[in-house]
Structure 1
Amino acid sequence: MRIEVNGIALEVQVSGEGPAVMLVHGFPDTHACWRHQVAALNAAGYRTIAPDLRGFGASDKPEDLESYRIAAYAGDLIGILDQLGVDRVHLVGHDWGSALAQLVAIMAPGRVTDLACLSVGHRGAMLSAGWEQREKSWYMLLFQFQGVAEQWLSQHDFSNMRQMLAEHPDRDEVIERMRDPRALSAALAIYRKGVPPEWLLNDDAILPPISVPTMGVWSSGDRFLTERSMTGTEEHVTAPWRYERLDGIGHWMQLEAPGKVTDLLLDFLASADAQAG
C-alpha cells in the first residue's frame, strides 16, 4: 500500500494480524529482503509492517539531498505507525535499517516494545571498534562523492557493485534496480546525509543509549562489520541485552539463513510478549 508521510509517498507492505512488527531494510534493499520473515511472522500471529525507505524501491525519491537527513527516515517510520494506528511495535532492522530502528527507539521509546538489530550496532560501539571497523567501512567515504560513487559502482556493468554484493542472494535484482541512475543516487543519499564525513574521522556525536530490550545479531561472514561493533552495543543499552552470533553467514543474514534468523526473531518476540503478558 501507499502511505503518505512527511510530504512523500512510501510503499509499505502490511500483512497479518496480531502484535505489530516493523521490519526495516538497509542498503541497497527494499522491503522484499524480509519476505521469509514476513511469512513466518504472519503464520506465528504477528502483523508485519515492511516499508521501502524513502529513496528505495517503489517509495518516492526526492531530488533534494537535504530530504535524506537521517532524522527524516526515522520520522517516516514513526509516521507510518501513526498512519496505521499502531501505538507500540516490535522493531527489527538490518544494516541501515538497524541504525534507523535504533534512532526510532531513542527518539520514541514509548512506541517501541523491543528492538532487534541485525548486523549494525550502536554508533558508539561502531566507533569504539577501532580502526579495524573503520577499514571495513572504507566505502562509506567513497559514497560521499556524488557522481564519483555512482560511476565507480556502475562501471563495467556494475562490476564493483557485484563484488560488494557477492553473497547477496538477490544481487541480480538489486543491480537491475540500480541501472536507473536516479535510483542509485537516491539510495546512496542515505550515506551522504546519514554519515557526515566528520563522523568517519572523529568520535563526536555519539547517540544516546537505547532504553528498550534489545537483541543484537552478528554474522561471522560479514565483510563490512566487526563482531566488536555489535558486542560493544551492550554498553549503550540500558535495558536487557541479548547477543547472538551466526557462524558462516554473510552480511545479508535474513536472506542467506532465513530459518535461523526467523527462529531468533520469533524467540525474542515471544520472550517480550510473555513478559508483557
Structure 2
Amino acid sequence: MTEITHRFVRSGSGLRMHVAEAGEGPLVLLLHGFPECWYSWRHQLTALADAGFHAVAPDQRGYARTGGPAGTDQYTVLHLAGDAVGLIDALGAERAVVAGHDWGAPVAWAVAQMRPDKVRGVIGMSVPHRPRSSRPPVEAMRGLFGDGFYMVRFQQPDLPEAELDRDRAATFRRMLYATSGDGPAPALIAPPDGGFLDVLPEPEKMPGWLTEDDIATYVEEYAESGFTGPVNWYRNLDRNWELTAAWHRAPIGPPALFIAGDRDIVAVGSRDAIDSMTDFVPNLRDTVWLSGCGHWTQQERPAEVTGAMLAFLRDL
C-alpha cells in the first residue's frame, strides 16, 4: 500500500503548513472541513497516488499541526485562499486540481474564482458555490434560525471553543456521527439553556466507516492547536462578505465537479443553490449524489468519492 508521508511546507502566504502527501504526478490539493484535518482525506491520499497523482492534504490555517496566528482577523477567505495558492507554488506546481469538503469547499471555490490561472479543475463536496449574498450572512442566518444556530453561536468569544475543547473525543464522536448518513441529522441549533453539542447525541455504536481509532487520531491531531483557530473561520463570515465585494457574482471558470450525500443536511438544505450552480459555475461537468450518505462525504463513501474524482481528473 502506498505510504502517506508528512512534512512542513512554508506556503507563499508565509504560513508554515503541515501537509500529508502521497504519490507523484499532477498535483491534487485536498482541503478539509470543520472539525477535521488532513486525516479526513486518508482514503483518497493513497488511492489518488496509486492512480498517478501527487495528492496533498494540508492542515489548513488554525487547524491541527499547522496551527495559526492569534488574531481572529487572520482567518478570512483571502488568507485561506492565499494559503492554498501559496501551497501550490511551494510544492513546485504551476497549477493544481483543488478539491474541498465542507469549509474546504468555499476555499476551493474561492481559489478557482480568484486565481483561475492556478486551477486545472475544482471539486466541491457538500457545500456548493453560492454567489455573494446581498446582505451580511450572520444577520441573515440569525433572522432565519435564531441565536442558537451554530454559525451564529460561533460568533461569541471564547464560549464555542471552550465547549468543543472540553472533551475532544466526545466532540468528534458526536459531530461525526450525528450528521452522517447513520445519524439522526439534527437541526444544528443549540437550546436556549444549553450548548451546541447538546443537540448531537452520542452514538449507541460507531458506524462502520468510523472507528474509535479514528476518533483517537483526531484527538491527537488537535492536541496542540485545539478549536480556537477552526472557530475563527466562522467569526470572519461577515468580514468575508465585505472583502469579496470585488467578486460579486463573478463566475468560476475552471472545470468543476460537485459531490454530496443525499442525507447531508448541508447539501439537502442547499438544493436550490446546487440546482442553479451552473449560472455561476458554467463549466460544471457533473453533480454526483451519493445515496444514503451524510455530511462526511469522502470518509463515509471513500470508494465512490475516489471513483468520481478519478473520472473527473482523467477527463481533464
* TM-score interval, normalised by the smaller of the two chains: 0.7 to 0.9
Structure 1: gaps (5+ residues) = 273-277
Q: Report SS of the residue matched to 1:18.
A: coil
1:152-211 residue CA offsets vs partner (Å, 9 max, x unmatched): 43457776664333256344543565566x521111111112x12896xxxx98452211
More helix by share: 1
Within the candidate set 238, 256, 259, 1:217 is matched to 259
> What residue in structure 1 maps to residue 235 of structure 2?
192
The 1:143–1:185 alpha-carbon spacing in structure 2 relative to 1, beyond 3 Å, is: same
> What residue in structure 2 maps to residue 163 of structure 1?
174
> What residue in structure 2 maps to residue 4 of structure 1?
10
Offset, 1:262: 0.5
Within the candidate set 231, 242, 260, 2:286 is matched to 242
The 1:20–1:196 alpha-carbon spacing in structure 2 relative to 1, beyond 3 Å, is: same
Q: Contact 2:132 / 2:249 at 8 angstroms: preserved in 1?
A: no
1:238-271 residue CA offsets vs partner (Å, 9 max, x unmatched): 2243111111011011001101100110111111
Cα distance between partner residues in 1 of 2:218 and 2:20:
18
Cα distance between partner residues in 2 of 1:138 and 1:48:
35
Q: Report SS of the residue matched to 1:224.
A: helix
The 1:135–1:265 alpha-carbon spacing in structure 2 relative to 1, beyond 3 Å, is: farther
Amino acid at match of 1:185: T
Cα distance between partner residues in 2 of 1:197 and 1:33:
27
The Cα RMSD (Å) is 2.9
The 1:159–1:48 alpha-carbon spacing in structure 2 relative to 1, beyond 3 Å, is: closer
Q: Contact 1:125 / 1:230 at 8 angstroms: preserved in 2?
A: no
The 1:160–1:32 alpha-carbon spacing in structure 2 relative to 1, beyond 3 Å, is: closer
Q: Contact 1:125 / 1:228 at 8 angstroms: preserved in 2?
A: no
**2:263 is equivalent to residue 256 of structure 1:** no
1:67-122 residue CA offsets vs partner (Å, 9 max, x unmatched): 11111111011111111221111111101111101111011111111111100111
Offset, 1:224: 3.0
Q: Percent identity?
A: 31
| TM-score, length of structure 1 as denominator length | 0.84
The 1:48–1:162 alpha-carbon spacing in structure 2 relative to 1, beyond 3 Å, is: closer
Amino acid at match of 2:174: Q
Offset, 1:144: 1.1
Offset, 1:220: 1.2
| TM-score, length of structure 2 as denominator length | 0.74
> What residue in structure 2 maps to residue 275 of structure 1?
none
